């Protein structure tokens, strides 16, 4: 099979730049379109990002001279792609409209945006976890009137540090959790250069984030019934989201109780042995091991652990019995890799392994 043709929508942004680098020499996918706002349409990619390239590595050579297109030029972009990764900052109704527009042009959309996350037939995937939610695509395709095209979304970056743990412990029925997240500035698409107020600072508010961090896990933990995704109702989460002066990496401090309390050994075994389609199929961006547990009481640390397995692993530590809840622990994930572009790419690789691109 020839490579799947890929467009990156929002290619100039923080998440888009990650997609551009991760897709360099990809075995399944070939980038054929880079798109952003009309401000950049017609420019070379190199010129469009000259002031704001923020990756450690250089712009990959394949991308430098590509001519940017406008995300909203759906007719022309669709002719050149089979798949788009969508990571665009626009109003939600505008994002939903163009993402559905691409699906109706028979393009598969893997979205990092929140606009379609609450739609009952749009799977919100953690590729190691709720892949059974792809069963809702039949319903979605009927709604959109498409044969091949559909939308899947990635959950918010904040939840990636703790929901995989709840999911791996599903048999113990997690019941109630209090979570505090300590979130990196790249999660807002910013750097210390563009956000100097964050140097040596903490901001105890991230607009809209707490609602997503409490609600989205329930959809991921839910099940498909009558063709649509029904969120879990037996888990309650309360979350506080705090912006901290860290470049990359969202840390979560979690207290949790279960209906059936696991032992500490069962807890650690369940998370460290948990795997899914990405590991079984040895996908290019799958971590060999999804979740790691550290015995050291000063881990996980952002500087030491955020890039484990190419930034695609979740690291956990400090698992202890709690005075009020059954357990407390700390977990870490990379917000623009596992939590954004890497998670989106692994989702697309999973769709590839499951033959969704076969025509």
Ligand X SMILES: NC(=O)c1ccc[n+]([C@@H]2O[C@H](COP(=O)([O-])OP(=O)(O)OC[C@H]3O[C@@H](n4cnc5c(N)ncnc54)[C@H](OP(=O)(O)O)[C@@H]3O)[C@@H](O)[C@H]2O)c1
Torsion of CA 225, 231, 236, 241, to 10 degrees: 160
Compose the 318-347 pattern: x for residues touching ligand X by CB under 6 A, - for all others: -----------------xx--xx-------
81 three-class SS: coil
- Residue whose CB is less far from ligand X, 37 or 272: 37
Q: How far is the CB of 35 from ligand X (least distance, A)?
A: 7
What part of residues 144-163 is at the interface with ligand X (CB under 6 A)?
Answer: 157
How remote is the C-alpha of 221 from its chain's centroid?
A: 15
Q: State which residue, 126 or 224, has the beta carbon closest to ligand X.
A: 126
* Count of residues that interact with ligand X, criterion CB under 6 A: 26
Q: Mapping DSSP to helix (H, G, I), strand (E, B) and coil, where does residue 55 land? A: coil
| The only residue of 24, 39, 205, 273 in contact with ligand X, by rule CB under 6 A | 39
Closest CA to 250 of 184, 188, 311: 184
**Sign of torsion over alpha carbons 112, 117, 120, 123:** positive
**Shortest CB 42 distance to ligand X, Å:** 11
From the CB of 89, what's the least distance to ligand X, in Å?
Answer: 4
The length of the chain is 359
Among 14, 103, 125, 235, interactor with ligand X by CB under 6 A: 14
127 near ligand X, judged by CB under 6 A? no
Integer Cα distance of 350 and 343 in angstroms: 10
Please state whether 103 falls in left (phi above 0), alpha (psi between -120 and 50) or beta: alpha
- The DSSP code sequence of 136-198 is GHHHHHHHHT-SS-EEEEPPPGGGGGTHHHHHHTGGG-EEEEEEEEEE-GGGGT--TTT-GGG
Closest distance between ligand X and the C-beta of residue 250, in Å? 8
Shortest distance in whole angstroms from residue 14 CB to ligand X: 4
Binding pattern to ligand X, positions 171-210, x when CB under 6 A?
A: ---------------xx-x---------------------
DSSP assignment of 310-338, as one string? HHT-EEEEEEEE-SSSSEEEEEEE-TTII
300 sits near ligand X (criterion: CB under 6 A): no
User: Token match 């669709």: residue?
Assistant: 78
Instruction: Pick one of 89, 92, 138, 259: the residue that binds ligand X (CB under 6 A).
Output: 89
Give the residue, chosen from 55, 90, 144, 176, that forms a contact with ligand X under the rule CB under 6 A.
90
Q: Which of 78, 113, 347, 350 binds ligand X (CB under 6 A)?
A: 113
Q: Is 10 in the site for ligand X (CB under 6 A)?
A: yes
- Name the H helices within 23-170: 45-48, 61-64, 74-78, 92-104, 137-144, 163-168
Q: Which of 32, 78, 112, 161 binds ligand X (CB under 6 A)?
A: 112
The residue written with tokens 């990571």 in the block is: 87
List the catalytic residues.
Answer: 157, 250
| Interface stretch with ligand X, choices 33-41, 173-181, 285-293, 345-353 (CB under 6 A) | 33-41
In the complex, the smallest distance separating the C-beta of residue 32 from ligand X, rounded to whole angstroms, is 17
Interface positions with ligand X (CB under 6 A): 10-16, 36-37, 39-40, 71, 87-90, 112-113, 157, 186-187, 189, 335-336, 339-340
């Amino acid at each position: 099979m020839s490579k799947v043709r890929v467009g990156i929508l929002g290619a100039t942004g923080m998440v888009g730049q990650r997609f551009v680098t991760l897709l360099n020499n990809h075995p399944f996918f070939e980038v054929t379109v880079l798109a952003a706002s009309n401000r950049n349409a017609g420019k070379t990619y190199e010129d469009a990002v000259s002031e704001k390239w923020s990756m450690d590595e250089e712009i990959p050579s394949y991308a430098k001279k590509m001519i940017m297109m406008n995300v909203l030029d759906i007719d022309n972009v669709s002719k050149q792609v089979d798949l788009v990764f969508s990571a665009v900052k626009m109003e939600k109704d505008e994002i939903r409209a163009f993402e559905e527009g691409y699906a109706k042009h028979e393009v598969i959309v893997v979205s990092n945006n929140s606009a379609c996350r609450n739609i009952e037939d749009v799977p919100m995937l953690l590729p190691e976890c709720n892949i059974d939610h792809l069963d809702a695509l039949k319903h979605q395709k009927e709604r959109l009137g498409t044969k091949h095209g559909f939308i899947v979304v990635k959950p918010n970056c904040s939840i990636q540090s703790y929901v995989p743990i709840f999911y791996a412990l599903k048999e113990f029925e997690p019941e109630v959790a209090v979570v505090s997240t300590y979130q990196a500035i790249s999660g807002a698409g910013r750097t210390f250069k563009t956000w100097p107020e964050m140097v040596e600072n903490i901001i105890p508010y991230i607009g809209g984030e707490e609602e997503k961090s409490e609600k989205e896990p329930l959809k991921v933990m839910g099940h498909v019934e009558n063709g649509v995704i029904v969120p879990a109702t037996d888990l309650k989460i309360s979350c506080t989201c705090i912006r901290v002066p860290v470049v990359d990496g969202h840390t979560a401090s979690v207290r949790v109780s279960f209906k059936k309390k696991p032992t500490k050994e069962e807890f650690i075994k369940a998370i460290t042995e948990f795997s899914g389609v990405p590991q079984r199929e040895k996908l290019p961006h799958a971590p060999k091991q999804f979740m790691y547990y550290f015995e050291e009481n000063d881990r996980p640390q952002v500087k030491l652990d955020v890039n484990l397995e190419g930034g695609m692993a979740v690291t956990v530590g400090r698992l202890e019995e709690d005075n009020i809840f059954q357990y407390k622990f700390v977990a870490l994930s990379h917000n623009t890799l596992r939590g954004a572009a890497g998670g989106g790419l692994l989702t697309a690789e999973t769709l590839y392994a499951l033959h969704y691109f076969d025509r």
